[in-house]
Structure 1
């Protein structure tokens, strides 16, 4: 489940910040502000996506095939707003915690999400929704 992966990456970043700070820092004011904005933005994206799933009465579970293709609301802007929210939360907390050495975890986390969740989901969606999903992928980017 993606929240478990997010938690694991957050634990790694927190561990680095707590036990291996190495005297590196991003600056107290701007990193805290940007970190807070990223975490808040990620939470908002996730909330908007959850609302669309509920409105369309389809599953939010990553390894299940949804009953409906959602292309409205936040899904007009991103095919994966929940995963994008996860990445924003990880990025924001890394900045807020001043965990400079944990910054490389962000692209690794994106790679895990794509390989473990997004690509299999897209294969299932392509099989179920055929041309509708192909049209959607041509109109809406995977991340932003």
Structure 2
């Protein structure tokens, strides 16, 4: 895979959005705040929950001997483990991590980054990946989509 393809990866998008939230929290606060220790607690829970989702999904994909690399062809359709609850637990984990950092940085004005991040991830990664799974696994993927939601 060429080096520039490695730049267009979900972790790079996630880190970029986290950096944007950090910059906003340092330079454009306008006196807005989530306030209090509850925000730090919620931030920790969101970041921790997101990391747990990432690890559980990666373990399941490794057990099934398929790739976690976006835009790569999947060897198997993974429907067990955490994938019983969400078709995209890694991306869901990314969203939780971003939300947690926005809370942690007290970056109120960065809240619109969440739906923007979801939109980018869906368009650049989820839709193409699901189209590939649909072509390769046809009826199995259709059944999986009927019983398992994309996000939660």
Q: Whole-Å Cα distance in 1 between the matches of residues 39 and 105 of structure 2?
A: 9
Structure 1: which 4+ aligned runs deviate by more than 2 Å? none
Q: Whole-Å Cα distance in 2 between the matches of residues 23 and 7 of structure 1?
A: 25
- CA shift at 1:28, angstroms? 2.4
Q: Counterpart of 1:22?
A: 30
TM-score norm. by structure 1 comes to 0.99
Q: Whole-Å Cα distance in 1 between the matches of residues 30 and 91 of structure 2?
A: 30
Q: Counterpart of 1:109?
A: 117
1:88 equivalent in alignment to 2:93:
no
Unaligned runs of 5+ in 2: 1-8
Equivalent residue in structure 2 for 1:137, among 125, 145, 151:
145
TM-score norm. by structure 2 comes to 0.94
Equivalent positions of 1:59-74 (< 5 A) are 59-74=67-82
Structure 1, 19-28 or 37-46: larger mean CA deviation: 19-28
- CA shift at 1:71, angstroms? 0.3
- Equivalent residue pairs, number: 144
Q: Counterpart of 1:77?
A: 85
Partner secondary structure for residue 82 of structure 2? helix
Q: Whole-Å Cα distance in 1 between the matches of residues 43 and 73 of structure 2?
A: 34
Equivalent residue in structure 2 for 1:36, among 41, 44, 57:
44
Q: Whole-Å Cα distance in 2 between the matches of residues 53 and 99 of structure 1?
A: 34
Partner secondary structure for residue 11 of structure 2? helix
Q: Deviations over 1:21-80 (max 9, x none)?
A: 111101121111101100000000000000001100111111011000000000000000
1:12 equivalent in alignment to 2:15:
no
Q: Counterpart of 1:121?
A: 129
- CA shift at 1:19, angstroms? 1.1
